[in-house]
Amino acid sequence: MQIILYFTKNSLIVVNSLNEWRNVILNKPNILLIMTDQLRGDCLGFAGHPDVKTPYLDTLASRGVSFDNAYSSCPSCIAARAALHTGMAQEHHRRTGYEDNIPWEYPNTMAGELSKAGYYCQCVGKMHVHPLRNYLGFHNVELHDGYLHSARYTNVPWQESQKNADDYFHWLKQEKGIDTDVTDTGLECNSWVARPWIYEEKYHPTNWVTDRSIDFLRRKDPQKPFFLMASYLRPHPPFDAPSYYFDLYNKKELTPPAVGDWETTEELQAMGRVFDSKCGPSDAVLIREAQIGYYACITHLDHQIGRLIQALVEYGVYDNTLILFTSDHGEELCDHHMFRKSRPYQGSIRIPMIVSGNDKFLSGMKQGTVSHSVVELRDVMPTLLDFVNADIPDSVDGKSMLPLVTNPDEKLRDVLHGEHSYGPYSNHWLVSSYDKFIWYSETGTEQYFRISEDPKELHDEISNPAYQKRIEQLRRTLIETLKDRPEGFSDGTQLITGCPYPPYMPDKAQKEGK
């Protein structure tokens, strides 16, 4: 008799044959991570948005647990994805802002650890790493990063040029002609200008990610559990959904952006006619068009996620697949005369988070419930590793969200520290389930919001006598959090303004040129 020992995180399983061992492996649930780009945490039907419709994401939330205090602690594409793929806080993965062309060199990654746990790991869509074809532990990547300026310049080596290295662009040229590009709409990848997609819907990048993800289900190894990351570009600009989705919102009366009584119009007056301004447009018609374009991209994305879910059903794996849905950061969408991300307000930092699946492997899950615990992108990696009973590397700062799936009233942390290197807008913040303290490191400006009572941050309470004790408590927490940072933000007794604050902090070996 052949005896095979099979180790899991907490136990040793003894099986008598390869067939029995194969059955153990096959009983491992699959994992689908649906990642979006620049999707606000409030722009979902189940989250109560008055305008946006997301029937398929609403379904996932109804069949799982959603998190209404999910955040991106360094809210721009590269830094946020570093947290996702490594489970680290930004002070440890060292990306504290946006900077291209910095090599990704991490010993422990989400896909790498899941691969060790017996999973076949496939990514389709956006990675936004360097070099472009760095797989970060995935067995295979079908890449589409969207339009990346740094990978499109004429002096970029051919191997790193998107026109060569990006699979969607390579495919689109084969399908539509060598000169075809996503820029044919006349839109730019950080712009608030919006208009419908000019080609057939099947050529849209959102459809492509779904198509290639479904094709993976067709050709996957049936004897091995899979980890599929379907990584969508939208609703990140360009706002170019197919015309059907624009039509859904064109005739609706849309809720106007939120503008706090603390905000000024100074930047809006100076930059409101610039197509990719950080403040959005000053023209009310263009603000409405940006909202229409953004919402159209969300519903288009939602319908394509519906296609992917239906494919899971048809391939017989839906009931054996854990689905986790999230985004890398939000979109300010003209709230407080702001556009894009990186600043410390809810439109920028708050993200969606859903864990959904069959209660046969999420025993005790209270489907359709909401957890108010503060969670973050760094928590995704330990959650998935915990789910498959794999060891969580010591390098991981995040915490598993699985306990919240069975007991939504628990909490992972009291407050979360976030930040972003952003020139004159460089900021640090602490957020809890009910309030937020902000410190701008260039100017020393502070703000305080009671987000449980004022979710749109209309009123800055920094000078309100009723909250001074809490504000001082959070200020002391931030001083303590930053006291050992190399930039010099804190000496342990006070916050220090004007410190050099690069978007990437090299480690000691890199500083020494090793």
Domain boundaries, the chain: 4-412
- Residue 493 scores a pLDDT above 80: yes
Distance CA 419, CA 429 (A): 6
Residue 43 annotated in active site: no
- Residue 26 scores a pLDDT above 70: no
At 471 the pLDDT is 98
At 163 the pLDDT is 87
At 510 the pLDDT is 52
Q: Residues 281, 192: contact at Cβ < 8 Å?
A: yes
Q: Residues 27, 19: contact at Cβ < 8 Å?
A: no
Find the mean pLDDT for residues 245-266: 97
pLDDT tens-digit map of 288-336: 999 999 999 999 999 999 999 999 999 999 999 999 999 999 999 999 9
pLDDT tens-digit map of 260-282: 999 999 999 999 999 999 999 99
pTM of the model: 0.94
Based on the number of CB atoms within 10 Å of its own CB, is 314 exposed (0-12), middle (13-18) or buried (19 or more)? exposed
Active-site pick, 77, 121, 279, 334:
77
Q: Residues 217, 22: contact at Cβ < 8 Å?
A: no
Distance CA 55, CA 300 (A): 11
Find the mean pLDDT for residues 487-502: 97
Helices 205-219, 167-176: inter-axial angle, 10-degree rounding: 100
- Residue 1 scores a pLDDT above 50: no
Q: Which of 8-17, 149-158, 443-452 has the highest mean pLDDT?
A: 443-452
Residues whose CB is less than 8 angstroms from the CB of residue 96 and which lie 6 or more positions away in sequence, other chains included? 74, 79, 90, 419, 420, 421, 501, 502, 503, 504, 505
At 364 the pLDDT is 84
Please say whether the structural domain 4-412 has been given the CATH code 3.40.50.1240.
Answer: no
pLDDT tens-digit map of 51-92: 999 999 999 999 999 999 999 999 999 999 999 999 999 999
Q: Residues 54, 44: contact at Cβ < 8 Å?
A: yes
Distance CA 72, CA 192 (A): 22
Distance CA 382, CA 391 (A): 9
Based on the number of CB atoms within 10 Å of its own CB, is 492 exposed (0-12), middle (13-18) or buried (19 or more)? exposed
Active-site pick, 85, 93, 128, 329:
128
Q: State the CB neighbour count (10 A cutoff) for residue 201.
A: 16
Distance CA 302, CA 295 (A): 10
At 3 the pLDDT is 53
Please give the backbone phi and psi of residue 183, each rounded to the nearest 5 degrees, phi first: -80, 0
Residue 128 annotated in active site: yes
Tokens of 249: 């919102």
On average, the pLDDT of the chain sits at 93
First to last CA, the chain: 53
Pairing of strands 416-420, 427-431: antiparallel
At 16 the pLDDT is 53
Three-state DSSP state, 211 = helix
Amino acid (one-letter) located at 96: T
pLDDT tens-digit map of 339-373: 999 999 999 999 999 999 988 888 888 889 999 99
Tokens of 295: 């919402």
- Cα torsion 165, 170, 171, 172 to 10°: value is 130
Distance CA 304, CA 56 (A): 9
